[in-house]
């Protein structure tokens, strides 16, 4: 009777913990999404493509700055477009998509953790994932990888549940679910979903020598479901755009494997992956060593339905999951941190399994907590020094964020120091360090956006920018500018990632070269131009443009017709000083404007 009562109390405690983790995730992921302009280039790009879809009504051919843009499939764009159709073309409507994907990923991790190891481990895994740095950042950044990781986690989790289920109807349902989720992942980021899924599943089957599973994977209905999800758009976009297939499959997918863009050494992700968990990094190493030992034992373990045997198989599957994600992307020359996001759900489950299955009783847990506590003291003076020595933001704007960060680091160090002696507190203390650091992060991001991005300039202008005004960028491309101005940006001496799209169709009026092109535009009609501060002294000598607004990385300039049409007053030429700098658009009746 007492044992049943203890189990019931444990279940209730786990359910309460799950609710608390989900509630905290909702606050962390969804709060403050509208408090700052889009952060170029990524936020601007993934907001502008859906905006152009809504404007044109064409949801088949993605476009960026009104030229064809075939880098990725459209599911993420469709999701953001749907959000903006419901809630308006606001920053938070763009950011809510990755936030929701991150929230659902945590929920999915908890459910999978329960099926792999039990409810307590599932809740712990959700907590680990929520308080890991890379997953948290990417849940608040509107780029494709968060949604991609959600669908991949669902794919591999559904496949495992199908593998672990007894033969019958449910086994086929789980496998069909895995096919469907792989189709959604493929519609989010392309054939990487197929490559990763194939690598994980076939590697697991080979090391377990369980080839009978291949026959049980619902191939016929699964392939049909996958095709129904993936083929319609690929066929439609190919029929409308003959140039699509070569660029999409050859250049974008396979070309990235050898591309020098974002080139990093082969060991890059081996370093980044553990440190992407930040305060969990110390525990990462004993957890992965423990998982590798259990995985090796599971290779020769017979499948007999025993709970321990099933758990060992689960550990083997998760280890292969992590190794496949980190390993496959390590082979590509092009490497960006978001690529490895799909590996973190499995790693969170492995750390949680380690902690809830004896890891906290080992001396290594105490050493990890103590080491992390000591390391947290090192950044306290470094944060202050960096805030004083950098020249992009005013020191006064950093006072409270720096103080908040220093207090959080000190508090976190004390918490972990205590937890080193009260080892049951280690998981809570480790995760709470990132939670108490969040206020500093939340305070600093709007300041960075104000002093380094262009969106704030357009939002600060009184009224809507008149339609007659052309918007130009010289020698740069801030992709959020079109989102805020609701018009095409003319690019002078820059094509960037629009190089391929600029060659399809007649776009010669929007991709220009040379200073004379910019001067000519300045003489033809009202013009708003975005340049870098280093180019201002040269442009100023032309005598055509005056400053409209400026910050540490951008100077917005206009010609005489621009100021007449908008009623804005130019800033004095000498007001554009070395950074930190912030000059917002001002009207003629503003103090000091005459």
Instruction: Give the DSSP letter string of 181-245.
Output: HHHHHHHHH-THHHHHHHHHHHHHHHHHT-THHHHTS-HHHHHHHHHHHHHHHHHHHHHH-TTHH
Contact indicator for 226, 193 with CB cutoff of 8 Å: no
For residue 197, which of 178, 210, 217, 221 has the smallest C-alpha distance? 178
| pLDDT at residue 497, rounded to an integer | 87
In a domain, 38, yes or no: no
What is the overall mean pLDDT for the chain? 93
Q: What token pair was written down for 152? A: 């991949």
| pLDDT at residue 513, rounded to an integer | 95
| pLDDT at residue 79, rounded to an integer | 98
pLDDT class of 369 with cuts at 50, 70, 90 = very high
- Residues 209, 287 within the same domain: yes
Contact indicator for 161, 148 with CB cutoff of 8 Å: no
Q: State the residue for tokens 């200073």.
A: 515
Domain total for the chain? 3
Name the most confidently modeled range: 25-34, 254-263, 330-339: 25-34
Question: 142 — phi, psi (to 5°)?
Answer: -75, 80
- Peptide bond between residue 7 and the one before it cis (omega within 30 degrees of 0): no
Whole-angstrom Cα distance, residue 349 to residue 391? 42
516-544 tens-digit pLDDT: 999 999 999 999 999 999 999 999 999 99
111-161 tens-digit pLDDT: 999 999 999 999 999 999 999 999 999 999 999 999 999 999 999 999 999
Question: 322 — phi, psi (to 5°)?
Answer: -65, -50
| pLDDT at residue 11, rounded to an integer | 73
Whole-angstrom Cα distance, residue 590 to residue 586? 6
- Residues 279, 236 within the same domain: yes
For residue 123, which of 285, 13, 284 has the smallest C-alpha distance? 13
pLDDT tops 80 at residue 236: yes
| pLDDT at residue 2, rounded to an integer | 56
22-75 tens-digit pLDDT: 999 999 999 999 889 999 889 999 999 999 999 999 999 999 999 999 999 999
SS3 at position 22: helix
SS3 at position 556: strand
Q: State the residue for tokens 């016929």.
A: 220
| pLDDT at residue 256, rounded to an integer | 64
| pLDDT at residue 309, rounded to an integer | 62
pLDDT tops 90 at residue 84: yes
This prediction's pTM: 0.94
| pLDDT at residue 299, rounded to an integer | 86
- Residues 353, 445 within the same domain: no
Boundary-marking domain end, from 452, 472, 491? 452
pLDDT class of 479 with cuts at 50, 70, 90 = very high
Whole-angstrom Cα distance, residue 199 to residue 191? 12
Helix (H) or strand (E) holding 490: strand 489-492
- Residues 461, 437 within the same domain: no
Boundary-marking domain end, from 428, 452, 476? 452
- Residues 332, 233 within the same domain: yes
Looking at 108-112, 370-374, 391-395, which range is the least confident one? 391-395
Question: 132 — phi, psi (to 5°)?
Answer: -100, 140
Average pLDDT value for residue range 318-347: 95
- Residues 289, 373 within the same domain: no
pLDDT class of 81 with cuts at 50, 70, 90 = very high
SS3 at position 64: strand
pLDDT class of 233 with cuts at 50, 70, 90 = very high
In a domain, 275, yes or no: yes
| pLDDT at residue 440, rounded to an integer | 93
Q: What token pair was written down for 194? A: 């197929």
In a domain, 48, yes or no: no
| pLDDT at residue 303, rounded to an integer | 59
For residue 336, which of 251, 264, 278, 270 has the smallest C-alpha distance? 264
- Residues 583, 476 within the same domain: yes
263-307 tens-digit pLDDT: 788 899 999 999 999 999 999 999 999 999 999 988 877 655 555
- The Cβ of residue 410 has, within 10 Å, a number of other Cβ atoms equal to 14
Whole-angstrom Cα distance, residue 443 to residue 449? 11
- Residues 381, 465 within the same domain: no
Instruction: Give the DSSP letter string of 115-150.
Output: HHT-HHHHHHHHHHHHTSHHHHHHHSS-STHHHHHH
Q: Which residues pair with 556 in a beta bridge?
A: 530, 549
Looking at 141-150, 393-402, 512-521, 585-594, which range is the least confident one? 585-594
In a domain, 270, yes or no: yes
- For 307, 324, 328, 576, the CA distances from 313, given in Å and listed in that order, are 10, 16, 22, 63
For residue 403, which of 426, 387, 391 has the smallest C-alpha distance? 387
- Residues 399, 544 within the same domain: no
In a domain, 491, yes or no: yes
Average pLDDT value for residue range 327-338: 90
- Residues 341, 467 within the same domain: no
* Percentage with pLDDT > 90 across the chain: 84
Boundary-marking domain end, from 405, 424, 452? 452
- Residues 345, 385 within the same domain: no
- Residues 296, 400 within the same domain: no
- Provide the pairing of β-strand 546-551 with 555-558: antiparallel
CB burial readout 31-60, b (16+ within 10 A) else e: ebbeebbbbbebbbbbbbbbbbbeeeeebe
In a domain, 522, yes or no: yes
Question: 147 — phi, psi (to 5°)?
Answer: -70, -40
In a domain, 51, yes or no: no
In a domain, 572, yes or no: yes
Residues of the domain holding 549: 455-587
């Amino acid at each position: 009777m007492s044992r049943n009562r203890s189990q019931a109390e444990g279940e209730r405690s786990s359910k309460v913990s799950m609710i608390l983790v989900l509630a905290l995730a909702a606050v962390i992921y969804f709060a403050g999404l509208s408090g700052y302009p889009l952060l170029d280039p990524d936020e601007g790009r993934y907001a502008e493509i859906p905006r152009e879809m809504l404007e044109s009504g064409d949801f088949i051919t993605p476009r960026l700055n009104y030229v064809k843009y075939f880098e990725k499939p459209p599911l993420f764009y469709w999701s953001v477009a749907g959000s903006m159709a419901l809630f308006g073309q606001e920053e938070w409507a763009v950011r809510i998509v990755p936030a929701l994907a991150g929230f659902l990923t945590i929920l999915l991790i908890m459910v999978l953790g329960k099926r792999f190891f039990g409810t307590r481990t599932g809740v712990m895994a959700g907590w680990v994932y929520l308080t890991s740095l890379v997953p948290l950042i990417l849940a608040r950044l509107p780029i494709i990888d968060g949604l991609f990781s959600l669908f991949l986690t669902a794919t591999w989790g559904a496949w495992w549940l199908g593998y672990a289920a007894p033969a019958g109807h449910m086994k086929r349902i789980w496998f069909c679910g895995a096919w469907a989720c792989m189709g959604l992942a493929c519609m989010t980021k392309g054939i990487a979903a197929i490559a990763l899924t194939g690598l994980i599943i076939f590697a697991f089957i080979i090391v377990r020598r369980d080839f009978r599973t291949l026959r049980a994977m619902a191939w016929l209905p699964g392939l049909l479901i996958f095709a129904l999800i993936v083929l319609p758009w690929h066929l439609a976009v190919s029929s409308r755009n003959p140039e699509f297939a070569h660029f999409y499959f050859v250049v974008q997918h396979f070309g990235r494997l050898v591309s020098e863009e974002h080139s990093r050494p082969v060991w890059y992700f081996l370093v980044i992956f553990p440190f992407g968990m930040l305060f969990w990094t110390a525990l990462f190493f004993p957890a992965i060593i423990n998982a590798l030992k259990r995985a090796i034992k599971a290779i020769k373990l017979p499948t007999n339905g025993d709970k321990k045997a099933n758990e060992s198989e689960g550990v083997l599957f998760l280890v292969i999951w992590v190794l496949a994600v980190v390993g496959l992307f390590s082979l590509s020359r092009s490497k960006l941190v978001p690529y490895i996001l799909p590996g973190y759900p499995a790693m969170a489950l492995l750390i949680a399994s380690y902690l809830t299955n004896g890891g906290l009783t080992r001396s290594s847990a105490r050493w990890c907590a103590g080491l992390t506590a000591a390391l947290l003291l090192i950044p306290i003076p470094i944060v202050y020094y960096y805030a004083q020595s950098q020249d992009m933001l005013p020191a006064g704007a950093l006072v409270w964020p720096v103080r908040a960060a220093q207090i959080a680091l000190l508090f976190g160090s004390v918490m972990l120091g205590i937890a080193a002696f009260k080892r049951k507190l280690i998981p809570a203390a480790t995760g709470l360090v990132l939670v108490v650091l969040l206020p500093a992060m939340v305070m600093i991001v709007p300041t960075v956006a104000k002093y380094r991005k262009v969106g704030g300039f357009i939002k600060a202008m009184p009224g809507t920018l008149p339609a007659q005004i052309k918007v130009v960028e010289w020698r740069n491309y801030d992709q959020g500018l079109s989102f805020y101005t609701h018009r095409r940006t003319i690019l002078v001496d820059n094509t960037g990632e629009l190089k391929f799209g600029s060659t399809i169709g007649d776009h010669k009026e929007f991709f220009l070269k040379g200073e004379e092109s910019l001067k000519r535009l300045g003489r033809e009609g009202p013009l708003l131009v975005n340049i870098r501060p280093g180019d201002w002294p040269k442009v100023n000598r032309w005598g055509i443009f005056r400053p409209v607004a400026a910050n540490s990385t951008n100077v917005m300039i206009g010609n005489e017709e621009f100021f007449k049409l908008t009623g804005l007053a130019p800033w004095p030429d000498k007001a554009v000083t070395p950074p930190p700098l912030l000059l917002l658009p001002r009207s003629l009746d503003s103090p000091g404007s005459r």
